[in-house]
Structure 1
C-alpha cells in the first residue's frame, strides 16, 4: 500500500496540462470582479482565441490548466495553484517587511489571492538590483532602469520544492516622490487591478525602496522599444503595421473599460513597445503617492486631455476615448500634438472652445472621420471602445483586400508620404522634434480656473495655424517639470 501511495504522488507531480496560450487565458477570471461584464462584447477574437476561464468552473479549469500535484484541485493558471501557493507565501510573511503597514498589507493581499504570477507583488530588497540607471522624471515620480538577476517568480516546482524564477530580468524602477508616507488611495488603485484579466498591460512585479531617499519604488516590466513616439520616430512603421498596432492598443483599452476601469492618463508616453508590440502602462496612476500632497485640479499631459476633464476634473471612459483619438492622430501623422505652443491656460481654453490638433492632409478619410468622432466635445457622442475596436478590426482584416475602401485610401496615403520623404525626410524629422520650450509631454498637475464649458467648433483645427497668436497672448507660462519624453 505504501508503495502504491508513493507511486500515486509521483504521478501527481506531472499533472499540469500542456497550456495552449492561443486558445485560453493564462489564468482564471474572478467572477466577482467581472460579473457586470458581458464577455460577448469583448469581440469575437477575445472569445475564440483567448477563452475566458472562470474561477468557479472547476471542470474547465481542470481541462485547461490541469491538476495541482499537492491538493489535487484544478489549477488557477498556467502551472499555478492559488490555494497551495497562498500557504507558502503566508509562511514567508515573517521573513520580510517594507516597514510600512499599508504596503505590507497590499503585498500580502496580492500573494494570498494571486491566481497567477502576474497578479503577484513581491517585496524586493533594493540590493537585489544591479546597474540602476536614471532615465527620466515626471510630475510625481522618477524613472530608472535596472537589472534584476533573480527575476520574478514564475511557478512552484514540486520536484525541487522551490520557486522557479525568470532570472536576469531588465526592469523599470518607478520612484514615487515623497512616498515614505504613502497614500492609501494610491495603493488601493493598484489593489483593485489585481484580479482583472488585462491583456497587453504592463506588469507590476513588486515594490522596493531607495535606501538614500527612502522613497518607495514600483518594479515594472521593461519595454525595449520605448514609448509610442520613440517607436514611430525610430522604426518608421508602415501604414498596415500602424493599423494593427492601433487595434492592439484599442484591445488593451477595451479590457480596461470592460473591467469598469478608466485609464485617466492615456497618452503616447504611456504606450510602450516591446518586440514591436504595444503595451499600456500606468493604468489609473493619476495621483501623487504621498498623503500630504493634495491634488487640486487634474494630472496628465494637456494635449491628450479631454475638454470636460479640464473643465470639470472628472475622468470617464469617454475621456479615454478622446485621448485615444489624439494618440491615433499622432501615430498616423507622426506629428507631436501642440508641439509649437505653450501648454498653458490659453491652450486649455482653446481646447474647451473646440480647437483640436492638426490632422495631416494625407490622412485617409476613414481615419479622419473616426478621429473627429473621438474628439467630439459632447462625450456621449464619442464611440465606445468596443465600437472603436470593431472598426479597427474591420480595417485590419480588409487592409490587404484590393477592393476595400481602406486599401485604396492607404495606397493614396502611402504615395503622399513617399513624396514627402523624397523631398526632405531629414528636415521633416528635425521639424517634428522642434518642440516649444513651454510644451510639456510628461504628466504633471494642472489646475486651470474659469475655463469655458466645452463646445464643438466649426474650425476645430485652428489652434495649429494660430500658434503665433497663442504665443503672443499667453500671459504666463507654467514652470517646466521633468524632461521631454
Structure 2
C-alpha cells in the first residue's frame, strides 16, 4: 500500500516506510565525493557525484517508532546555477517548481535537496542521476538502434511530465532535447529554471531558450504559455524522427527566427508515419489555439504505443501498428551524420528580436497536415520529407520498460 499524499507505504510484513518525496534535505558538501563536471548550459553547470549517505529513508516499526534505515551511497547530479552565492528568486522558483512536480508525480526526475560548495559558496540542487544522459546525445550516438516503440515510449513519458507541469499552472519555457534526460526506467523533463506561471514574463522582457524550439508567437514578442511548450514538443517529435537537431545546418540568428515566423519547420526522418507528422505539425501550428493539449497528446501517444483503437481521435490500433512497423524498416538506413553550422547553438541563451512578421503556417504544410481551409498571407517554406517507406526489411523485436509500463509486442 502506498499513500501518495504522505509518501508512506506498507510492505508485506506490515512495516511502514517513509520515502521520497516527503521532504527535502540539506546536505553538507563534504558528504559528496567524486564530483565531476558532466555538462554546462547557458545558465548552469551540472556535476555527477557520489552521495555518501544517500537519501534518508525511515521505517515505522510495530511499536510506532520511526527508525532511520542504514545509509546507502548513491550517484546523483548536482546542478549549480552560475554565480549563485546567494539564494535568488530564480533559484527558489526552480526549487519550488521541481518540488511541486515531484509531489504531484512520483516518477518525475527526483529532487533530493540542496547543498553548498564549500570552496565557491555557490548553492547546488541535488537530483536523481540519469545514467543515459540527455535525449540529444542519445539520438546522435545510437539512433539506428532506437525503433519506434522506444521513441513512442520516450515521448509518452515526456508528455506525462509536461501534462502534470501544466496541471500545476506552469509552462516550462525552455523545452528542448538537451533538457530531456533518460535512464533505464524512464525519460524525464529537467531544468525548470525558466518555468513559471503561464502568461507571466521575466522582468527584462527578453526571450530565453534554444532558438529552434521557441514558439513563433514568443519570438514575435508574445508571452510564454502552455501552448508554447506544445510547439517545442512538436520540434522534439521531429528530432526524435530524424535523429538530428533542428536547423543544425544554419545560423541560429534573426534570419532563422524570421523564417520560423514565416512557417519553416524542421524536417522528419525517412519513412516517418504520416499520422506522426500530422500530430507534430499540429503541435507546431503557428496559431497557438490550434495546437493539441497535453491531454490529447497523452491519450494519443498511449494508444500509439500500445496499438490501441481511439475513436475520439480516429485511430485504429491495427493501422497504427502497421504504420510504425513499416517505419521501423527505414531506421537502419537513415544517415545520422551531419555537418553542424558553427553558429547553430543548442544551449539556452537570451534573445531580442525586432520587426519579425506575424507567425503563419506555410501553405504546403497546411494543405497536407493542418486541414485548414483559410490560411491567408502565407509564404512558402522548406519542404518536409515525403519519401515512401521501404517495405523490404523485417522489424526486429524490442522490449523496454518505461516508468512501469511495458511495451507490448504483437
The bucket for the TM-score relative to the shorter chain is 0.7 to 0.9
1:181 aligns with 2:100: no
1:271 aligns with 2:185: no
For residues 138 and 217 of structure 2, the distance between their equivalents in structure 1, rounded to whole angstroms, comes to 30
Partner of 1:96: none
1:51-450 → structure 2 map (5 Å cutoff): 79-80=17-18, 117-156=20-59, 162-164=67-69, 167-191=72-96, 194-195=99-100, 196-235=103-142, 236-275=145-184, 277-283=186-192, 285=194, 295-398=204-307, 404-418=318-332, 420=333, 428-431=335-338, 434-450=339-355
For residues 34 and 383 of structure 2, the distance between their equivalents in structure 1, rounded to whole angstroms, comes to 43
For residues 265 and 166 of structure 1, the distance between their equivalents in structure 2, rounded to whole angstroms, comes to 36
Higher fraction of strand: 2
For residues 335 and 280 of structure 1, the distance between their equivalents in structure 2, rounded to whole angstroms, comes to 19
TM-score by length of 1: 0.66
1:27 aligns with 2:4: yes
Secondary structure of the structure 1 residue equivalent to 2:121: coil
- 165 and 219 in structure 1: CA distance in 2 versus 1, 3 angstrom threshold: farther
Confirm or deny: 8 A CA contact 1:240 1:399 kept in the other structure. no
- Structure 2: tracts of 5 or more residues without a match: 197-201, 310-314, 366-379, 385-410
For residues 210 and 343 of structure 1, the distance between their equivalents in structure 2, rounded to whole angstroms, comes to 35
1:229 Cα shift?
A: 2.0
Secondary structure of the structure 2 residue equivalent to 1:219: strand
For residues 444 and 243 of structure 1, the distance between their equivalents in structure 2, rounded to whole angstroms, comes to 29
For residues 430 and 306 of structure 1, the distance between their equivalents in structure 2, rounded to whole angstroms, comes to 27
Q: CA RMSD in A?
A: 3.1
Q: How many residues align?
A: 352
For residues 444 and 120 of structure 1, the distance between their equivalents in structure 2, rounded to whole angstroms, comes to 32
Confirm or deny: 8 A CA contact 1:357 1:464 kept in the other structure. no
User: Cα deviations across residues 318-340 of structure 1 (Å, max 9, x unaligned)?
Assistant: 11111111111111221221111
Secondary structure of the structure 2 residue equivalent to 1:131: strand
Q: RCO (CA 8 Å, sep 6+): is it higher in 1 or 2?
A: 2
- Structure 1: tracts of 5 or more residues without a match: 1-18, 30-52, 54-60, 70-74, 81-115, 288-292, 422-427, 466-485
1:171 Cα shift?
A: 0.9
Partner of 2:358: 453
1:261 Cα shift?
A: 2.0
Partner of 1:478: none
Confirm or deny: 8 A CA contact 2:244 2:336 kept in the other structure. no
Higher fraction of helix: 1
Confirm or deny: 8 A CA contact 1:297 1:313 kept in the other structure. no
1:366 Cα shift?
A: 0.5
For residues 242 and 147 of structure 1, the distance between their equivalents in structure 2, rounded to whole angstroms, comes to 30
For residues 289 and 208 of structure 2, the distance between their equivalents in structure 1, rounded to whole angstroms, comes to 23
- 192 and 241 in structure 1: CA distance in 2 versus 1, 3 angstrom threshold: closer
For residues 373 and 457 of structure 1, the distance between their equivalents in structure 2, rounded to whole angstroms, comes to 12
Secondary structure of the structure 2 residue equivalent to 1:146: strand
TM-score by length of 2: 0.77
1:166 Cα shift?
A: 5.4
- 179 and 364 in structure 1: CA distance in 2 versus 1, 3 angstrom threshold: same
